[in-house]
Amino acid sequence: MKKLLTIPILLLLAGCDINVLDAKSETGQDQAFLIWFSFGLMMIVLVVVFVLFARFVWKYRETDQNKHTLPKDVKGNKKLEITWTTLAILLLVVLAVPTVAITYDQSPVLSSSEEAEQAVHVNVTGQQFFWTFEYENGKETTNKLVIPANKTIVFHLISKDVIHSFWIPQLGGKTDVLPGKELLYKLKNPKEGTYEGKCAEFCGVQHTKMQFTTRVVSNEEYENWLKE
């Protein structure tokens, strides 16, 4: 059975180069942490439920001894009900604390004008079917994004036609790119390297062509590149 499944799974995964969990920025690492954290909590719940389920199915199975006896009629059990209600609330609180903290931290609202000034701002325009990046000194590139490492980057996203979605899987989650309304996306401390980016919203027949490369370079290299 295992062998039978291997081939379709490999085929399915062969086209999959989305390394969301191999994050290369603080933003992406925080998001990956949330995925693993909630996955871990869910696994705890899953294991406990399945173990208890198996145990009860075995314990209360029909045997020759109990074949002709009816089980006692039970109405409620305060202890058990309080236990599983409290446990569920506790689990949700444990999940909520890092989720809310990271969501606020990643919110595109800059916490101070100082943060806004220190950040590197890039205007990103999506249109069928390419991306234009405009840097602070007016320099423009198409389908090639260059940003400095270990800084806060603020992308100002706008579309010229339909809704697109800006996504660099290894650096962080997607953000919609809307016509007529600028959205911000804050990316914290990307690491040096080259990463694939794409449009993650089906936007027309050539949607798959809407890809770009992101080069994260040292601050010095970035300054030199800007002047080129």
Contacting positions for Cu ion (CB under 5 A): 164, 199, 203, 210
Q: Least Å distance between CB 42 and Cu ion?
A: 32
Q: Which is nearer to Cu ion, 145 or 149 (CB)?
A: 145
Q: Least Å distance between CB 178 and Cu ion?
A: 12
From 198, 100, 108, select the one nearest 152 (Cα to Cα).
108
Q: Least Å distance between CB 164 and Cu ion?
A: 3
Q: Least Å distance between CB 142 and Cu ion?
A: 14
Q: Which is nearer to Cu ion, 210 or 217 (CB)?
A: 210
Q: Which is nearer to Cu ion, 153 or 203 (CB)?
A: 203
Name the residue type at position 135.
Y
Angle 29-22-172 from CA coordinates, rounded to 5°: 50
Tokens 């145990």: give the residue. Answer: 55
Q: Least Å distance between CB 157 and Cu ion?
A: 12
Q: Which is nearer to Cu ion, 88 or 179 (CB)?
A: 179
Q: Which is nearer to Cu ion, 187 or 210 (CB)?
A: 210
Q: Which is nearer to Cu ion, 29 or 175 (CB)?
A: 175
How far CA 138 is from CA of 132, 133, 141, in Å, comes to: 12, 10, 10
Under a CB-based contact definition with an 8 Å cutoff, are residues 20 and 174 in contact? no
Work out the angle between the directed axes of helices 26-59 and 78-106 (0-180°, nearest 10): 170
Collect contacts of 8-17 with beta carbons under 8 A, ≥24 apart.
17/196
Using only C-alpha atoms, the chain has a radius of gyration, in whole angstroms, of 25
Spatial separation of the C-alpha atoms in residues 22 and 168, rounded to whole Å: 12
Tokens 């954290």: give the residue. Answer: 37
Q: Least Å distance between CB 167 and Cu ion?
A: 10
